[in-house]
Structure 1
């Protein structure tokens, strides 16, 4: 229904062919005669062929996003009707405008009438918008807090739209309304076709798309020919010589490009020698082997010191030998590669230690900033007095980690983020400058060529005001460096400010939430599958993600800063500058895998299993339709078996060639069971949005023991308000973990997508293709890759037991704080 306006030229041409006005000698279309009337009907029929074939082409070739179009909403049944009525209304308005325009612009009456109509329309729309906002106050934030990029887009659209309408009205004084509308429709469809069909596009264009687009193009050629004939013989189309020649030149130019495009698509082979996932798994194995080899090069303390200095360009911190002994005594397989720590701490090298202590004190003195403090002093760790009770367990858990090695740490205070969401979003230019100065500071220190002792100068002591029984500031005292940004879009103001200036997300707004953005996916994908896990986290080339994750749409608790404050967080979005540390959630066993409940992969049920809550973001202003958890549950439960999927399947029995084939979704659903639902009731939402989600989704009121997950082969893992605390026990369970995470944690460099888990794009457009590969098709599971599924599941379980242990969390935290304090 998005493309219903394609039929507008047909309605206009049909009106012109049947209207009495078409026979008026003063009308400038077809002459009044039986022959001309026949030509008019032939013209309308040809326009009809063009619109039908163009509509079919666009409908088939357009891939919808997983953004939810509610099934149970009050207005969902009336959307098709309202769109059809809108089409008729548009046709009526254009015909009326044509009539007014053809009365002649030498008189002021038509101009005055058009001005009044425009003024009345603007007033009616303004009143409608005002009433809507009064009835839905949650939309107030979006309506009156637009960022500069959206304002620029709206201004451009306003100027462009106004210019286009003015041009059309002017042309209607000389031409029948169907002519400019048909030209505009043709050019729009033509441009859309070229922007979505390339030889590298996924999926490759089907034969039906090529045939339909050719019919549309040929019918347009016939329409142009009729215009040409009419302008020559009857002058009834009022296409003067210049206008006629321009149309012919435009069509010839389009014809050349169209034929070239068709030739490239026909000549380009769509066959593959192997399935993309086979290639991705093979490449992942090689990447993992290479990383693991260089991650543990050292076999002695001297080797470790050399590796540290050569990799990071600075001497290791004091007590590095104690860390080395601690790590090796606990059997750490990773000694040399801690790139996450290096990246997190690099910009802080540009800041004076006294300034870092001042910023830490600033946060801990103001409980409003949602930062809890840990003081490491005299070889032990303890909480600062003013930690919020609901989050005390988190800091207690972190303190228990630190106390394992606190005797070797210098005295320090650290500010811990007690919220799930990350906090520090530094603009790109400022961050580049900090990194540059940080590298310079490290080069200067590296010239000393020896370990530096911890400084104990009195002027480097930590402030003490926030250790008092009463906080120095009231809980309501805000910080000028932090903003209250909860329950509002975070994407433009914070999410992408760390992107390079020419990044698409800084220039483009993805307005059409219902359409899939192929250009946003292609940099990190191979066909429908995610090929670069690290790059897939970047927001810089993915403007459409603004509408496809709860954190971007409406974070529940978000107090960000655009200055580089030293905040320690359990996870962060790529582009943010929080210092990531191992989460106490996993360390204190908030959720665990009980080995006694484990099941061998071959004995697990072939089922996709997921249970969870609507906790990803705060639902308001109709934004829950884009949240990842909601989209997944909707995708799983409202899947139409008749939907056609373009799947990569073998073309022969030997499986030596692969190509895209159109398969009904029912074939995937019959091979793999789907057991996906929300639990409890809608949370983190306004009343209206809670009610809307309650109507749209089934909320399972029965509780599920967490250990029940291990019975199923396929477990999907999603972000909550922040990182997912389930991922580590999922890996340990031996089930195949499908991971769709935007928040990144401390262990990212240790794990390899397609070897230890299956990566899933945030858009979820790849879900059915992934299940078709691993689970197969039909009741017999034809083309299933059970062996590959089991291999990834086993590899993830084995590697997690070696590098994601509690001991590994301690080792990471020890090194992080040693470098932070050094």
Structure 2
């Protein structure tokens, strides 16, 4: 019987630990966190239902059966760890504490960027404080027989073992070690650049965290005292279900009541909807919560709450600590020794803790074996820590390496992109690139136009093929029907080609007429070689076609059959999805930011981070989001193309203004043809070179900057304008707002990762955390808003307005050596003093670009050769600028009176030499390439190529239409 009870309790412990780990691992990837209030209520209701259902099978459940063997049995002697009998008011107080704790959780989550990490690790100390209060019953101590006390053969080790098992000091020390180790393991993450503003009241947020920690202790203790005195397992589980259900109802009532008395907060809660995935997450999380608490409740008469909480803290702390230790020696973990110290404290604390609490087994492991495992873990941690520290130093800067690789890649690209010197070679190259498919009719005229206009790119038009490919899976008649419907959408104009002449559909008084005039002028240079067609041109700044991944994939798979062009059968045409007529979407209609983010997430493949849900932890740096495009280079961006894909970067929904600014016109969900100036990786628009209104108006004044690089000001310049409507999300996570806040941050707690030289004898460097305020003083930033919005709410005052952080645009911004280009905030003014990327590229300054948008020319540029790429999180901004400008000769913040020997960083003088020659070379290469590959003629060549390819897609006989080699003109060939 005892053996069965022991096995049952171990099974309960295993279920409790397993459900705890599963919840901790999976909760961030669930969409429940996006709707925390509604989700928490539903999870509590589900957990209550599961707990009540479990009460009907109480005979089958493992563990102790309450205070009675059965409902009519005799009283079982209470173990020494059984608490005092609970008071009548304990149950309502417990429910009230849970409701209040959930409200505190939501408040802290709303200000998560200002919170402190790792506070939860101190819960065992809160429980310990209760355990040591005067009047508490004696803890389970040693099980020695009286004669063992007077055994003359006892040794010093026996006395030490008795002290560990019985003294309050050993219990206190072990609990403190576990809590401190878990705190060190979880509190050393890099912070994200999401802003904690002066209006967020970080002191209040952190106070609420500690109050929440105290409430956690109250809830654990009250729950233990209530459940431990239940008569049977059945009554225990019914009590647990009552707690869950009453807490859910109370939380819902409190939430509704607060919204009724807070008119500034909408009463209605945007709800994604009860889809299958959401229901699945609610059910699985509710089940896991029920398993966790049911399993813990079955152990209440055998374990103290400190035992359970200590085990949970030890396991989670050790997992996190080992995860950090494996990263020691690189940019991901620069806190040398902290992760190692965390593991040491946890291993030592756990070894003492299991004896001090008389825990015979932890889950299924005997405590003797567990202590041995802790010793092995300690040895392994020592080996890993020292071996990783040896590889801590870099002898070649990652940017230097990437610049060298960029030269090699550029040479290969030119060979690959312009291999065809004659038309027959170009035809063969086309077939080789695109699965044996023949070029379209008119290809020879396009080739002649490209050669005559000295285009450096002849063969590489993969962006065109990528954009148009899915439309080969749609019948030409359906495409033409979609074009007629799209033309009725707001912000859409038609570029018409008929009888060899191009025109547009806008009236002369339209604000976009000049832009369309310029586009028509470009098309008319080669329109005589084009078939009749209509092209919907998107004149908005935002792209328009946001088609779900499944639809794009389905059409692309159709297109891959028979070399992209499969003549659709009647059945396949009938299977093509019919959609709501696009002209039913009125110009005044709009969608919420949350709905827009959900639509964007659906453009990613299943299983990707963004498809799974929005990254909710805005406080900590998302390391997994950065690794795919920074692999092997620490904090520096190594793959610019991958960095522009959002599907592995779920945190971008909180870090870029585009994703939390509601579009004025809803995106089109069907795959329809819309030709746009730029787009993100989520959109299915077809890219073409559409001039902006500023470019048209300033065409005569756009002379390339030819001034000498050495005579320019060695500063990084940027100006921008805030979006007209300031929201809470924009002030905290807007990419422009984060940039301005980062370079003007003077707080003592902010730190930035830098690659710092370790000595002057050898070229050896290592990653270190440096005060951001010091770097802002040392590095030459000329960054600020030229104008900020005065529109803000009382809850979200505009910090940039209140602190007056606007700077006037420079009269000649091109006289700076470094020019930063960012995506503009949606709806912001174009007269902000910002420099277009192409203008910066054509100048003799070094362009630095941080963007998620691609344009027609993006694939033509080589990062680290023509420009310097930056991650949108800006965590590498200071280190990248320091690589070129250096730190040598800069005065530190502590030496403002004239000491220019070097920069005092982390207590030592650091000399980081400048690489002005490399910067000058990049500026020259960018300007040279832009002058040959980004000319007006190159825009025309690209547009001509798009129209030639599109002209075949909309033909009924597109599968047979092709360029015939040797003909004087392109003709369609049957069969």
TM score, norm. by length of structure 1: 0.84
Rounded to whole Å, the distance in 2 between the matches of 1:5 and 1:345 is 52
Q: Give the equivalent residue in structure 2 for 1:728.
A: 838
Rounded to whole Å, the distance in 2 between the matches of 1:390 and 1:689 is 36
Deviations 1:268-325 (A, max 9, x none): 3223331111111111111111111222222233333333333333333333333233
Contact 2:646–2:652 (CA under 8 A) maintained in structure 1:
yes
Rounded to whole Å, the distance in 2 between the matches of 1:147 and 1:524 is 33
Equivalent in 217, 232, 247 of residue 121 of structure 1: 247
Rounded to whole Å, the distance in 2 between the matches of 1:536 and 1:290 is 22
Q: Give the equivalent residue in structure 2 for 1:785.
A: 915
Q: Give the equivalent residue in structure 2 for 1:680.
A: 787
Does the residue aligned with 1:529 lie in a helix, a strand or coil? coil
Q: Give the equivalent residue in structure 1 for 2:198.
A: 71
Instruction: Sort the Cα spacing of 1:398 and 1:261 in 2 relative to 1 into closer, same or farther, 3 A.
Output: farther
Rounded to whole Å, the distance in 1 between the matches of 2:736 and 2:919 is 23
Q: Give the equivalent residue in structure 1 for 2:814.
A: 710
Does the residue aligned with 1:676 lie in a helix, a strand or coil? strand
Does the residue aligned with 1:717 lie in a helix, a strand or coil? strand
Contact 1:489–1:552 (CA under 8 A) maintained in structure 2:
no
Matched, 1:552 2:651: no
TM score, norm. by length of structure 2: 0.72
Rounded to whole Å, the distance in 1 between the matches of 2:661 and 2:372 is 49
Does the residue aligned with 2:785 lie in a helix, a strand or coil? strand
Q: Give the equivalent residue in structure 1 for 2:618.
A: 513
Equivalent in 199, 205, 224 of residue 98 of structure 1: 224
Q: Give the equivalent residue in structure 2 for 1:279.
A: 401
Contact 1:738–1:760 (CA under 8 A) maintained in structure 2:
yes
Q: Give the equivalent residue in structure 1 for 2:553.
A: 432
Q: Structure 1 residues 122-131 or 740-749, which shifts more?
A: 122-131
Q: Give the equivalent residue in structure 2 for 1:453.
A: none
Instruction: Sort the Cα spacing of 1:261 and 1:156 in 2 relative to 1 into closer, same or farther, 3 A.
Output: farther
Instruction: After TM superposition, give the deviation of residue 567 of structure 1 in Å.
Output: 0.8
Does the residue aligned with 1:588 lie in a helix, a strand or coil? helix
Instruction: After TM superposition, give the deviation of residue 518 of structure 1 in Å.
Output: 1.4
Q: Give the equivalent residue in structure 1 for 2:859.
A: 749
Q: Give the equivalent residue in structure 2 for 1:669.
A: 776
Q: Give the equivalent residue in structure 2 for 1:739.
A: 849
Q: Structure 1 residues 100-109 or 201-210, which shifts more?
A: 100-109
Contact 1:374–1:382 (CA under 8 A) maintained in structure 2:
yes
Unaligned runs of 5+ in 1: 232-238, 447-472
Rounded to whole Å, the distance in 2 between the matches of 1:517 and 1:574 is 20
Instruction: After TM superposition, give the deviation of residue 729 of structure 1 in Å.
Output: 0.9
Q: Give the equivalent residue in structure 1 for 2:458.
A: 335
Q: Which has the larger radius of gyration?
A: 2
Taking the TM superposition and a 5 Å limit, the aligned residue runs for 1:75-154 are: 75-106=201-232, 118-131=244-257, 133=259, 135-137=263-265, 140=268, 142-143=270-271, 152-154=280-282
Does the residue aligned with 1:292 lie in a helix, a strand or coil? helix
Instruction: After TM superposition, give the deviation of residue 263 of structure 1 in Å.
Output: 2.0
Instruction: Sort the Cα spacing of 1:242 and 1:277 in 2 relative to 1 into closer, same or farther, 3 A.
Output: closer
Instruction: After TM superposition, give the deviation of residue 445 of structure 1 in Å.
Output: 9.5
Deviations 1:80-133 (A, max 9, x none): 222122222222222222332333444998777766654553344223433555
Equivalent in 778, 783, 805 of residue 935 of structure 2: 805
Contact 1:427–1:497 (CA under 8 A) maintained in structure 2:
yes
Instruction: After TM superposition, give the deviation of residue 595 of structure 1 in Å.
Output: 4.7
Instruction: After TM superposition, give the deviation of residue 688 of structure 1 in Å.
Output: 5.0
Deviations 1:121-178 (A, max 9, x none): 3344223433555534568564555876566545544433343234334433332221
Rounded to whole Å, the distance in 1 between the matches of 2:305 and 2:205 is 27
Matched, 1:490 2:620: no
Instruction: Sort the Cα spacing of 1:579 and 1:49 in 2 relative to 1 into closer, same or farther, 3 A.
Output: same
What is the aligned-residue RMSD (CA, Å)? 3.7
Instruction: Sort the Cα spacing of 1:245 and 1:293 in 2 relative to 1 into closer, same or farther, 3 A.
Output: closer
Rounded to whole Å, the distance in 1 between the matches of 2:679 and 2:209 is 42
Equivalent in 349, 355, 365 of residue 220 of structure 1: 349
Equivalent in 180, 190, 197 of residue 52 of structure 1: 180
Equivalent in 419, 435, 448 of residue 297 of structure 1: 419
Does the residue aligned with 1:530 lie in a helix, a strand or coil? coil
Rounded to whole Å, the distance in 2 between the matches of 1:374 and 1:161 is 59
Q: Give the equivalent residue in structure 2 for 1:602.
A: 710
Taking the TM superposition and a 5 Å limit, the aligned residue runs for 1:124-273 are: 124-131=250-257, 133=259, 135-137=263-265, 140=268, 142-143=270-271, 152-199=280-327, 202-227=331-356, 231=358, 239=359, 245-247=365-367, 249=369, 252-253=372-373, 256-257=376-377, 259-268=379-388, 269-273=391-395
Contact 2:195–2:733 (CA under 8 A) maintained in structure 1:
yes
Q: Give the equivalent residue in structure 1 for 2:480.
A: 357
Rounded to whole Å, the distance in 2 between the matches of 1:771 and 1:146 is 48
Q: Give the equivalent residue in structure 2 for 1:450.
A: none
Contact 2:121–2:182 (CA under 8 A) maintained in structure 1:
yes
Deviations 1:594-626 (A, max 9, x none): 5587643323323332221233x9754646422
Rounded to whole Å, the distance in 2 between the matches of 1:71 and 1:592 is 45
Does the residue aligned with 1:21 lie in a helix, a strand or coil? coil
Deviations 1:762-820 (A, max 9, x none): 22222222123223234357333222222222221221122111221111111111221
Rounded to whole Å, the distance in 2 between the matches of 1:440 and 1:387 is 45
Contact 2:473–2:565 (CA under 8 A) maintained in structure 1:
no
Matched, 1:407 2:528: yes
Q: Give the equivalent residue in structure 1 for 2:764.
A: 657
Contact 1:671–1:776 (CA under 8 A) maintained in structure 2:
no
Unaligned runs of 5+ in 2: 1-115, 144-148, 150-161, 568-579, 828-833, 892-901, 903-910, 953-975
Deviations 1:223-253 (A, max 9, x none): 33533xx53xxxxxxx456868445555655
Deviations 1:562-595 (A, max 9, x none): 3221111111111422100113117525599855
Does the residue aligned with 2:535 lie in a helix, a strand or coil? strand
Equivalent in 118, 138, 143 of residue 3 of structure 1: 118
Rounded to whole Å, the distance in 1 between the matches of 2:376 and 2:699 is 62
Rounded to whole Å, the distance in 1 between the matches of 2:365 and 2:326 is 30
Rounded to whole Å, the distance in 1 between the matches of 2:128 and 2:529 is 84
Does the residue aligned with 2:755 lie in a helix, a strand or coil? strand
Rounded to whole Å, the distance in 1 between the matches of 2:440 and 2:363 is 76
Instruction: After TM superposition, give the deviation of residue 4 of structure 1 in Å.
Output: 1.0
Does the residue aligned with 2:460 lie in a helix, a strand or coil? coil
Q: Give the equivalent residue in structure 2 for 1:820.
A: 950
Instruction: Sort the Cα spacing of 1:733 and 1:642 in 2 relative to 1 into closer, same or farther, 3 A.
Output: farther
Contact 2:850–2:870 (CA under 8 A) maintained in structure 1:
yes
Q: Structure 1 residues 392-401 or 514-523, which shifts more?
A: 392-401
Instruction: After TM superposition, give the deviation of residue 492 of structure 1 in Å.
Output: 3.6
Q: Give the equivalent residue in structure 2 for 1:459.
A: none
Instruction: Sort the Cα spacing of 1:2 and 1:170 in 2 relative to 1 into closer, same or farther, 3 A.
Output: farther
Contact 2:485–2:582 (CA under 8 A) maintained in structure 1:
no
Instruction: After TM superposition, give the deviation of residue 38 of structure 1 in Å.
Output: 7.6
Rounded to whole Å, the distance in 2 between the matches of 1:147 and 1:720 is 35
Contact 2:751–2:770 (CA under 8 A) maintained in structure 1:
yes
Rounded to whole Å, the distance in 1 between the matches of 2:128 and 2:433 is 71
Deviations 1:489-530 (A, max 9, x none): 53442344342x333333455232212221221121121111
Instruction: Sort the Cα spacing of 1:210 and 1:367 in 2 relative to 1 into closer, same or farther, 3 A.
Output: closer
Instruction: Sort the Cα spacing of 1:321 and 1:241 in 2 relative to 1 into closer, same or farther, 3 A.
Output: closer
Rounded to whole Å, the distance in 2 between the matches of 1:726 and 1:85 is 49
Q: Give the equivalent residue in structure 2 for 1:315.
A: 438
